[in-house]
Chains A and B, each alone.
Chain A
Amino acid sequence: MEINGVTKQVLDVIDSYGFKQEGAYNLRLDGMAVCHGDSRHIHIVKKEDVAGIDIFISGEARNEQVHIPVVMTKEGIDVVYNDFYVEDGADVTIVAGCGIHGSGCSESRHDGIHSFHVGKNANVKYVENHYAEGPKSASKVLNPVTKIYVGEDSVFTLETAQIKGVDRTKRETFVELSEGAKLFVTEKLMTDEEQDAVSDMEIRLLGEHSSAQIISRSVAKGTSRQVFHPKAIGENLCRAHVQCDSIIMDKAEVSSIPEINARHVDAQIIHEAAIGRINDEQMMKLQTFGLSEEEAEGVIIENFLR
């Protein structure tokens, strides 16, 4: 299908791998699945009862990609349920994300409810970028719910980024790890003006030798507010490391509340949390390269969120 200019522009921002109508893909535009394709190993089936799709990934998939972006250019509320079924041994990258091109003066809201059922020995990377643009009068809201069940000896990498422009977000992430399963989470968030962001995360390390690494980095500008609440629960011999770092600017407010909970004598769980302004010495160092104060600040933020 022909994709219009605004949609393409938003897709370019949210799909860093490059969206193409090739292989396995599904584009949801203004509450409707407008085009989709399957590949040999990845099949997408439209749900009958609710809005959303089921994505079946074969164990034969090797280094394959599936793109399922969502673009909203109209006001309204879009609630969508996407379920992923990943077979044993599959190796796949799932590129999701939502971009809102706000218009008018009421709310544009997308609630993406995703669940991942991952078999044994699989390798799954899930990339999700959130972005919004448009006038202040149009409220842009994204409330993703992500449930991940990782099978034995599988690796799940979750990379989420809220790039800019989202007025309100409440992220809920729930993960369960089986024996030998590994989880890597990188969460990046930038808020400005009067924006509000809440991220709740619960990681349950159920299986022996399961492990989790959660890195959360954020920048809060203007009068924006951010609340992080990652919780790691060790129920077996396991390892988990939670790290939350935030740069605070202007009159913003950041709360970082990492929680660790051990229910087994061999559970090793660590958390670190830090909030601080941009370091003066970093600024000075970059200025000795010839960068202006503004440029130096931009470089520090860009790298911090990279």
Chain B
Amino acid sequence: MLQVEHLSYEVTAEGRQSEILSDVSFSVADGEMLVITGPNGGGKSTLAKLLVGINRPTGGRILLDGKDITELSIDERAKAGIGFAFQQPPRFKGMTVRRFLNLAAGRSLTEDECCGLLGSVGLCAMEYIDREVDATLSGGEVKRIEIATVLAKEHDLCIFDEPEAGIDLWSFSMLVKRFEKIHKERKAGMILISHQERIIRMADRIMVISNGQVERMGGAGEVMPQLFGEEVESCACRQQKGGVLCGD
């Protein structure tokens, strides 16, 4: 179980202090799926980076299964059971997909295991296993391999930062099914940062982050109507007022 207590993150840029996240508290139980959504720039990815250890919070604490992990490094948190899929994964010259998956799994995977992992993210294993995770792969391909790296090992908590970004519709459906499967197994806790309605609908709970704060938190039945209802309403209002298109 993940417990986040009064987490905050401030940065100083050009002599000015600004608060990126302020007093964020929530928890994710084992087997629970929490979807974090909200406007761009609201602090979702920053929160993920604080949980993984890429950035250190300026206040509050993070507990995994009752143990305070706030001061642990990235690799120590990984060993404690946190898996993370980057929104924009880096590429590696000379690193084959097979080697990358082995590193992710922390052991040498069998051919069948590699094939299963790549297949589950919509990639044909034979075509990819010996290719390098470099600039010759498209953004969508790198993104799917990134997700496969998290699936390569069992974690207590998996965090996926916008897994849908750059993935085509067909693979997205496969991905959703894979998330549903993990969710049904009810082993690992999952945090999905997403803007996709189909992913948001899968959630046990939804957390809306805006302006660095938790704006809303609750079950799908409770938050979904507010979330999408309000958006429709605000769109309609704007269209009535000036005929401006939604999203402008």
Residues of chain A touching chain B, judged by Cβ–Cβ distance below 8 Å, are 217, 245, 279, 281-282, 284-293, 296, 299-300, 303-306
- Asked whether any CB of chain A lies closer than 8 Å to the CB of B37, the reply is no
**A303 and B104 contacting across the interface, CB-CB below 8 Å:** no
**A282 and B90 contacting across the interface, CB-CB below 8 Å:** yes
Bound complex: CA A245 to CA B74 (Å): 28
Interface size class of B (residues with CB under 8 A): 20 to 34
In the complex, chain B residues whose CB is within 8 Å of the CB of A281: 86, 90
6 contacts across the A-B interface (CB closer than 8 A): A217-B93, A285-B89, A288-B82, A303-B93, A304-B93, A304-B94
- The smallest beta-carbon distance between A20 and chain B, in angstroms, is 28
**Complex interface residues of chain B between 64 and 78 (CB less than 8 A to chain A):** 73-75, 78
- Asked whether any CB of chain A lies closer than 8 Å to the CB of B149, the reply is yes
**A284 and B54 contacting across the interface, CB-CB below 8 Å:** yes
Bound complex: CA A299 to CA B89 (Å): 17
**A292 and B75 contacting across the interface, CB-CB below 8 Å:** yes
Residue of B nearest to A302 (CB): B94
Among the listed A290, A300, A303, which residue makes an inter-chain contact with B75, where contact means beta carbons less than 8 Å apart?
Answer: A290
- The secondary structure that dominates the B interface is mixed
**B94 and A305 contacting across the interface, CB-CB below 8 Å:** yes
**A279 and B84 contacting across the interface, CB-CB below 8 Å:** no
Number of A-B contacts (CB under 8 A): 53
**B75 and A285 contacting across the interface, CB-CB below 8 Å:** no
Residue of A nearest to B146 (CB): A285
- Asked whether any CB of chain A lies closer than 8 Å to the CB of B103, the reply is yes
Among the listed B54, B83, B94, B103, which residue makes an inter-chain contact with A286, where contact means beta carbons less than 8 Å apart?
Answer: B103
Residue of B nearest to A299 (CB): B103
In the complex, chain B residues whose CB is within 8 Å of the CB of A293: 75
Q: Mark B130-169, 1 if CB is under 8 A from A, else 0.
A: 0000000000000000000100000000000000000000
Residue of A nearest to B76 (CB): A290
Bound complex: CA A248 to CA B104 (Å): 26
Bound complex: CA A288 to CA B86 (Å): 10
**A288 and B93 contacting across the interface, CB-CB below 8 Å:** no
Residue of A nearest to B132 (CB): A303
Residue of B nearest to A287 (CB): B74
**A290 and B79 contacting across the interface, CB-CB below 8 Å:** yes
**B94 and A303 contacting across the interface, CB-CB below 8 Å:** yes
**B78 and A300 contacting across the interface, CB-CB below 8 Å:** no
**A303 and B99 contacting across the interface, CB-CB below 8 Å:** yes
10 new A-B contacts at CB < 8 Å, known A292-B75, A303-B94: A279-B90, A282-B90, A284-B74, A286-B103, A287-B75, A288-B74, A288-B82, A289-B106, A293-B75, A303-B99
Evaluate whether A289 and B78 lie within 8 angstroms (CB atoms) in the complex, with A284-B54, A299-B103, A303-B99 already known. yes
